[in-house]
Amino acid sequence: MHISSREQCNWIRDKFEGLQFESVPAANRILNLDRLFWADEFQNFLANKFNTTKRFGVEGCESFIPGLKVSFDSLVESGVSKVVIGIAHRGRMNILANVVRKPLE
């Protein structure tokens, strides 16, 4: 809220902060929970398989995976054909595997 324009702050508040109170259908909640489980299990697999390798896991950002997937799904429904993702190390493999559905190999 460092923006000096009160009008711009109110616009951000109306467009983004109000969305957290929308009700989500049960089917979508189950789908998001499933995505969260897949992301968590993939993270556990990487931790066990490569336990001596320095990794930048998704710890603390697990909810980002289903949120990003929902965003991509709504973009596809709107007709978007390409998305550019700029992401640092934190959770990159998990996002590529669970959101973009890149092959795990």
Each residue of 2-21: pLDDT tens digit? 788 989 988 888 887 766 66
Within a domain: 9: no
Closest C-alpha among 70, 72, 71, 61 to residue 94? 61
- What global pTM score does this model have? 0.62
Cα distances (angstroms) measured from residue 54 to each of 60, 89, 96, 102? 17, 11, 18, 22
Within a domain: 93: yes
Domain residue limits at 83: 25-98
Within a domain: 3: no
Within a domain: 71: yes
Higher pLDDT, 87 or 31: 31
The tally of domains found in the chain comes to 1
DSSP state, residue 23: -
Each residue of 31-55: pLDDT tens digit? 888 888 888 888 888 888 888 877 7
Contact status, residue 45 vs residue 98, Cβ threshold 8 Å: no
